Structures are given as structure tokens and as C-alpha cells.
Structure 1
Amino acid sequence: MRMTANWDDLGPRVASGIAMALLGFGLLYIGHLPLLVALSMLAGLATWELSRMLGGTTPGVAGGLAATGVAAAAVAQIFAFATGEGLWDEVYLSPWIVPFIGLAIWGGGQSVPPHHRWVFTAYGLLVLFAFVGMFYLRVMHGLIFVLFVVGVVVATDIAGYFAGRLIGGPKFWPRVSPKKTWSGTVAGWIAAAGTAWALLGWEPAMVLGIAPILSLASQMGDAGESAIKRRAGVKDASALIPGHGGVLDRFDAMIGASAVATLVMVIGGGWLQ
């Protein structure tokens, strides 16, 4: 039997990937308030998409959540400056952010049908934690480490895409993500290790341990969003990115990797360094 690869979506993936990569790198390089505002807005839009997918009907949730994120960031900045903790470095530690995050989750979940609210709450918290975590990683561990996390996600996606189509084989999790194969999954782990080596040098803990773990986390982030879409009976999270789905469709893998990277560095960052 002759095997053929399906490359129909390669062009759009590459074009959108390059555009988002350039914008994302610029924001990560600048850091500070521009990055904080961008991450807050993405978190708001992603949470709106989640509410919408699960049957939420409240209008204007996207703008409200994005504004809540920016307001939380602003209050945290003022608090950090007033207490002498530093205008940027202690933002993520401010207790003033907590009630705003709680308000965002509570407000967005009110219009979601009761049988979906636990999914909204759990995944919504993960989304917010991941985006706040990305800012934490940029502030506390620098640009190179954040590029390492992003690079692992990108390398995992690219390696999985090509290996899955060229090699094929058994499916990784057919009930949730029928296109993913074990060959693509393992190729992603290998590509992640190579990315760690290229960006961080030969650090065994990162290359052989953390990088494959983050690769798996990114794959689980993708699979998790796919499971929610299947539960909701939708193809895309939204149409915010014309022809390419929504924020969650583009950042699902990054959400998984960022959340796990944040946990790893909060718990074991000192040991790793």
C-alpha cells in the first residue's frame, strides 16, 4: 500500500507561525509592561473562548476578562512600587492579583451550563496560571530560559507534525486526538532535548529530563484542549484568528508547557541552577 502524506495545511501553519513568532519574540524581548498586557489579553481571550465553547452566553466576556487581567497587573504594579518590592520583579508575588483572578473565573463561569462549570473552572485556572507563569519565567529566569520553553513547544510541534505524516504508525491517544501518533510524540521528545542542548548547552537535567517533560506537557496541553472541544462538539475554539481557529487552538500546547515549567522552576529552580 502506497503511503502519502497530507501537506495541505503546511502553508498556513508556516505563515501564521512566522507572524506569531516575530510578534511573540518582540514582546518577550521587551518584557515588562508590554509583555504583561499582552499575556493578560491573551488570557482573557482564551478564557472567553473556553466559556463560549462550553455554552456560555454572557456578551462581552472577552473584553471584561482582558480588562480584569490588565487591571490586576496594574494594581499589582502599584502595590509593588508602593511597598518598595520593585516595579517589575515582584508583580507575580502580589496578593492583590488573587481576587482579580478569582473574579475573572467566577464571572466567566456564570453563564456556563452547570454540568460544564467544573471543566471551565479547572481549565480556566490552568490558562490563567500558565500566562501568569510565562511572565514569572521571563522576570525571574530571563529571556533565554523563556525561549527554551517556547522552543521546546515549537520543536515538539514541528517534529511531531513531520514524523507523524512521514512515519505514521500507532495512534498516541485516538479517542482524544486521532491525528497524533507515537512516532510523532517520541520525535517531539527528541526534538525538545535537542532544543535544550542548543539553547542551554549540555546540562543533563535540562536536556534529558526537563525538556522531554515540557515536550510531553505541551502534547498534553494540545490533547486537553482537543478533549474539551470534543466534549463541546466544536471544531475550533473560536474564529479570532481568521482561518486558523482561536487563541486556545494556537496556545494550547504552550499553556501546558508554561504551567509545568513554572511549577518546575518554583519548586526546583534553585537545584536546577
Structure 2
Amino acid sequence: MRVRGISLIAIALLAAAPGWAANPLVTPRPAATAGQPESVVESALSQDDRRALDQALERYLRDRPGRAALAVYDRTTGARYAFHERAPFMLASVGKVDILLAFLLDKQRERRRLSDYERKLAARMIRNSDNDCAHELYLTIGGRKGLAKALRGLGIDHTSPGPGLSWGSTRSLPSDQVEVLERLTDPGGPVSEHNRRYALDLMSSVLPDQAWGVSAAAPRGEVALKNGWLPAHEHDGLWTINSVGRLVVRGHELLIAVLSERSPAMETGIATVEHLARLAVRTLTGSETTVSAARAS
């Protein structure tokens, strides 16, 4: 659903981007998942498909303001794809998913379930994108150091929490945010079944006016998502627009992250993010609407 009239997020943005080495335009990960023959993975996204998708994304972004990047993992086939991961992006409220992951794992280490008050905080943080609730949970996990430690312990190495208590200025790459989604939703991962279902329930029931972004790629599928939107002070008020989530589309379970910055208006950024998500999902799911046919969309 396209957003209209969402209130702005007020986050202190004090961080400067850390230095990062340039990443490849397309970054395939280890191909096969347990129990899957490699041939299935290879057939899921051929080099021709990758090149065609690269070209379609490049062609679309050529006339768009700002910059954007994406990563997607097809859990059904094992295929991975990443695009334009050259420098990190500010996460804004997408960072709330990282906080949720660290918080749930903290509770598991303490061997206890969330209290009613903690559940209220987590629910409002994800469903309502409530910044005060996110701030309180961020303090609970140990702030910047606690989040960094949690992510590093999970092998998520290219995400840098913002300075002080500025969780919204956390910087990351799309592939790292896909890794966050993997750890949060993997049945064999570190999050318990109870907490995994709870997290997906929250992300599947965000407020209607926040149900935009990667959901555009799954109009009739299952969607669990979290978005971030912010007129960034360090970009002279230009918009950071991000969307991450789990989609079930045409029999494929997809984890996808699309990050963008420097859009002149919120809706411009949303249009960019949604179009990139649709192009990537069409390719990975083998939709009858091919990349070439999608060029005019």
C-alpha cells in the first residue's frame, strides 16, 4: 500500500559514514543450503538472469535521484543476489529489526519470556514504528555496544550502530539486513520458534499507512516487513527510504532489503524502493512478467 501523510521520525543523526571497501556489483554467496542439490541453486538464477537484472536496475536508476541498493535471498532455491553494495546506508527505522533481534536473543539467554510490558514495547516499536519504545529497548540491550556485540556474534559484520543513543543512524548494507532477517526467521537459527513467530507476527501487522515498500513485490503473497523513512539532516533534508522483509511469492520464500538515500521527496523514494523490489522478485521467482517486459513498468 502506498503511504500518505506519515509523520516524520525525529532521530538525532550525528554519525559520519565509516570507511568501507567497495563491494562487487553482484555478490553471490555460498550457493547450496543443507539438503539442496547445487544444480537446483544454479538453475534458480543464471548468469544471464543476473546480467539482465543488473541492466534493468541500472537502467531504472539512471533517471532516479539519489542512490539505492538491494539484496535478496531466495530461501526456497538458495539463490542470492546483491546490487550496488558500494557503501553503507543509514537504516532509520529499519534498525528497529536489528534491535528486535538482539532483544529477543537477550531474553533467550536469560531463559525467560518477554513480560507484558516488554511485549508492548516491541509491538509498538515494530507495528507503530514508535521511536520512544525503540529507544527503551535499545538501552535494554546495551545501546551501541550491545547491538554491535549481538550483530558481530551472529556474523553480521558490515553494520555499524550510530554514536551514542542514535540507533536510527546505524549504517548497514542490504546484504547485512538480509542476514538479520535470516537470523530472525530461520527455523534452524538462533531465535526460538516462539520468538520467531512473534517477530513475524509483528512485522506482518504494521499500521496500514506503513505497509509500503517491498510489499509491492508481493501484492497477493504473504508479507512481513519493516520500513524506515527520514529526511536526513546530513543530506540537507533529502529522504532516506528503506524497506526490508520476508515475502512468500509464487511458492518462493524471499528475504529482501532495499535501501536508498537522497530522494527529494518521501514518495519519490518509496517509488524507487518498490520498483527495485518488483524487478528483483520477478527475476528470482521466474514470473511470467520477465525483466525485459518489466522495463516499461
**TM-based fold match above 0.5:** no
Which is richer in strand? 2
Which is richer in helix? 1
What TM-score do you get using the length of structure 2 for normalisation?
A: 0.27
Structure with larger RCO (C-alpha < 8 A, sep 6+): 2
